[in-house]
Amino acid sequence: MKKNLTHLFIFGFSVLFLNACGGFKSLGTNLLESLGEAEVSSTKVVAVVSQNQILTNYQSCLKLPADKISSQSRNALNDSIKSLPPEGEVEAISAPMLMAVTKVVAEVCNDLINYEKTLSTDRTYFKDFNLTGTASGKAVSNASLEEETLSSVDLAMIELSRACWGRTMTADELNILRGALNKDASLQTANRDAALLSCTAVLASSQAIRF
Amino acid sequence: MKRHFSGVILSCYMVSLLLLFQNCKEKALTSINDDSRNPASISDNAGSVRAASANNELAVELHKRLAGATPNLDDPILTDMENLISQGQLEEAALVATHQPSFYSITLRDFAVKMTNKEQSVSFPLNDLAATIIGGVRDDINATEFFTGNFFYKGNASSGAPQDLKNDIILSNNHYESLDNSGANLMEVLERVNGQQVVNPQGNLVALADSGGILTSRAFMAAHADAGTNRRIIEYSFKVFLCKPMDEWANSSNPDNRVGRDVGRFPQADYLAKCKGCHTGMDALRPATAHFDFFDGGIRYKYSYPMDPNPNDPSQLNIPVASAEQDVPYKFRRASDNFPQGFAVTDDNWSNYASDEIFGFRTPSSGQGMADLARLVAYSEQFSRCMVQRVFKSVCRRDSAKEEKYLIERLAQDFERDYNLRHLFVNVALQPECTGVHL
């Protein structure tokens, strides 16, 4: 489990590296103040997910039934709520904040996996995954992006991005996540661990927490 | 799963973030077409960074701003919004987002909860005031009725929240905290209850004779009438619902004939420089609260106080109270030796010395009790401006700038057409100053 956790953080780093580049353009009271009164017109201010928003946001974007959000998820939020910005202020981005998000997201992903496990045919995200824990299922793809043979894990990550990023993952982003996943042989099958790590990486990324 | 977050990992995060932001500008993005769930459609395309159409992008943005949640791209609600946008029906598209549960449980909840505590923070539990605003918006109630109406909202029987009116709602916040903790769908479970109630000296529930809407809600009174001198009720009524902190409406040129006995007048220079400006306006309005107190978990209205605590031994109630003041809590007589010639509050008749120029009052400059005070607040021009400022902050994630004064004024005038907060949220979300999108 500790090993998985390490992977989870590596994934988090990777996706954070990638996504913030398209991200925060302006914002921050200090910046606005430094620019004076004339700056703000027609400026979209970017924020990040807030304390009260985080669980509802993931539940909404994943279309996860409300009763599938577990007490573990709520406890994870309560444990780390002080690290999350009350109103989504970008200035509040910090290492503890991102770790708090990752902690909550890992539990939400666990809830999502548990929910999808009960769906034998109509899974949205983890199609063709063996979610019972033992390794099996389709191997992670090393195919080039032009090929039509994306793996179950690839498709899960793309579907998760469509759900919670408000856009589809780019080819670069997918490649980075694949690279991280391919570093560990135990994660190269579409099993529960791969589902948990790929889900956490996508949902804890800056694109997913950006408002 | 037990998780341990070590300092090493924390350091890694910090370093990673630094690198991340340094390298941002050099990164070339590639795109995937919107129908990219078909693997064949994934392709590198350095010229494009957008995966979705402009309509889709606007629909996603409106959903995030209003509903407070990222929409799933496969959600039919998003398709509905895109279709409405493509037909030029932007308001209708935005209204769709305001009918999502998360609009109530995230956006409105935070908007309302901030108005219920001294810190003006969202990090407080749901309460009767916030629930009333959330429920009232759902039912498209005229916003002035939050002040002039005599009702509140609570969770219905199926919400799972404890339903003992006296113990869970009037004398505690148990009911609302339970709604909060259970993640109840506020859009569905809130129901209106007509008639505010309080506990009488015998411990029975009775109708509140002087309802000031949300100004006499349990949450507002718990925040501002607990202990103190009840001046906080006035200060925060103006600060929260008129967006004017005390220092912005203090005026030393007002008469001080209503300043209380507990405000010392000497040395006079200090009084004139430090005290008078705030107390003239605040103390003239304070009698509106003369019959209110908050203790043992609930609002107390028009209790009889024949004896006050002995200053040498506060546990002893043995100081007789003048008959004219026996309907008024001790907090109005505390430290009255400071200036015995000061104004003694004996009833709830108040005067308003606050500036018409600042607030744009439209009701008489004197009144009786909290009901009239609530009308003074709700019907003022500044109330509309304040609601616009608050909604702007909530939807646009920033305070409006000074240069946007005319935008706020225009939105306030629009708001006064129907005083509908849902429409105000939509109107604000559609402003290019808010989303950065020129529609």
pLDDT at A42 exceeding the cut of 60: no
Stretch A125-145: mean pLDDT: 65
pLDDT at B247 exceeding the cut of 90: yes
pLDDT score of B186: 97
Chain-centroid distance, C-alpha B305: 32
pLDDT score of B145: 98
The percentage of residues in chain B with a pLDDT greater than 90, rounded to a whole number, is 83
B182 touches chain A (CB under 8 A): no
B72 touches chain A (CB under 8 A): yes
B388-413 pLDDT per residue, tens: 999 999 999 999 999 999 999 999 99
pLDDT score of A141: 55
Stretch B71-79: mean pLDDT: 92
3-state helix, strand, coil in chain A (%, to 5): 60, 5, 35
Under the banding of pLDDT at 50, 70 and 90, the label for residue A185 is low
In this structure, of A17-31, A126-140, B45-59, B85-99, the range with the lowest mean pLDDT score is A17-31
Cβ–Cβ gap B74/A46 under 8 Å: no
pLDDT score of A180: 78
Candidates B6, B13, B23, B77: best to mutate against A (most CBs of A within 10 A) is: B13
Under the phi-then-psi rule, with left for phi > 0, alpha for psi from -120 to 50, and beta for the rest, what region is B88? Answer: left
Residue ranges of domains in chain B: 120-378, 388-435
A18-27, A125-134, B305-314, B343-352: range with highest mean pLDDT: B343-352
d(CA B321, CA B14): 64
Q: What is the DSSP letter of A140?
A: P
> What mean pLDDT is reported for chain B?
89
pLDDT score of B22: 31
A128 touches chain B (CB under 8 A): no
In this structure, of A50-59, A120-129, B295-304, B360-369, the range with the lowest mean pLDDT score is A120-129
Cβ–Cβ gap B397/A170 under 8 Å: no
The token duo for B89 is 């029906």
Under the phi-then-psi rule, with left for phi > 0, alpha for psi from -120 to 50, and beta for the rest, what region is A63? Answer: left
In this structure, of A84-88, A126-130, B412-416, B421-425, the range with the lowest mean pLDDT score is A126-130
d(CA B12, CA B6): 10
Residues 6 or more apart whose CB falls under 8 angstroms from that of B202 comprise none
pLDDT score of A211: 87
CA distance A136 to chain B (A): 22
B405 touches chain A (CB under 8 A): no
The token duo for B429 is 């979300």
Cβ–Cβ gap B68/A42 under 8 Å: no
In this structure, of B7-16, B72-81, B145-154, B223-232, the range with the lowest mean pLDDT score is B7-16
Residue ranges of domains in chain A: 2-209
- The beta-carbon neighbor of A99 closest among B13, B30, B436 is B13
Cβ–Cβ gap B70/A87 under 8 Å: no
pLDDT at A59 exceeding the cut of 80: yes
In this structure, of A5-9, A89-93, B301-305, B390-394, the range with the lowest mean pLDDT score is A5-9
pLDDT at A147 exceeding the cut of 90: no
Residue of A nearest to B399 (CA): A29
Under the banding of pLDDT at 50, 70 and 90, the label for residue A43 is low
Stretch A152-170: mean pLDDT: 92
Under the phi-then-psi rule, with left for phi > 0, alpha for psi from -120 to 50, and beta for the rest, what region is B228? Answer: left
pLDDT at B117 exceeding the cut of 90: yes
pLDDT at A84 exceeding the cut of 60: yes
B300-324 pLDDT per residue, tens: 999 999 999 998 898 999 999 999 9
Strands B205-207 and B197-199: antiparallel
A84 touches chain B (CB under 8 A): no
φ/ψ of residue B155, rounded to 5: -75, 145
pLDDT score of B384: 98
d(CA B103, CA B236): 26
* Cβ within 8 Å of A, B 75-94: 75
pLDDT at A23 exceeding the cut of 80: no
A42 touches chain B (CB under 8 A): yes
Closest CA to B242 of B353, B403, B360, B419: B360
d(CA B158, CA B392): 34
B269-292 pLDDT per residue, tens: 999 999 999 999 999 999 999 999
Cβ–Cβ gap B110/A38 under 8 Å: no
pLDDT at B19 exceeding the cut of 60: no
pLDDT score of A148: 53
Higher pLDDT, B262 or B35: B262
Amino acid at the residue B311 = P
pLDDT score of A184: 72
Which residues of chain A neighbour B42 with C-beta distances below 8 Å? Answer: 145-146, 150, 171, 174
Higher pLDDT, A20 or B61: B61
Q: What is the DSSP letter of A44?
A: P
d(CA B131, CA B152): 8
The percentage of residues in chain A with a pLDDT greater than 70, rounded to a whole number, is 70
d(CA B219, CA B225): 10
Query: Which residues make beta-bridge pairs with B392?
Result: none
B191-235 pLDDT per residue, tens: 999 999 999 999 999 999 999 999 999 999 999 999 999 999 999
Stretch B409-418: mean pLDDT: 98
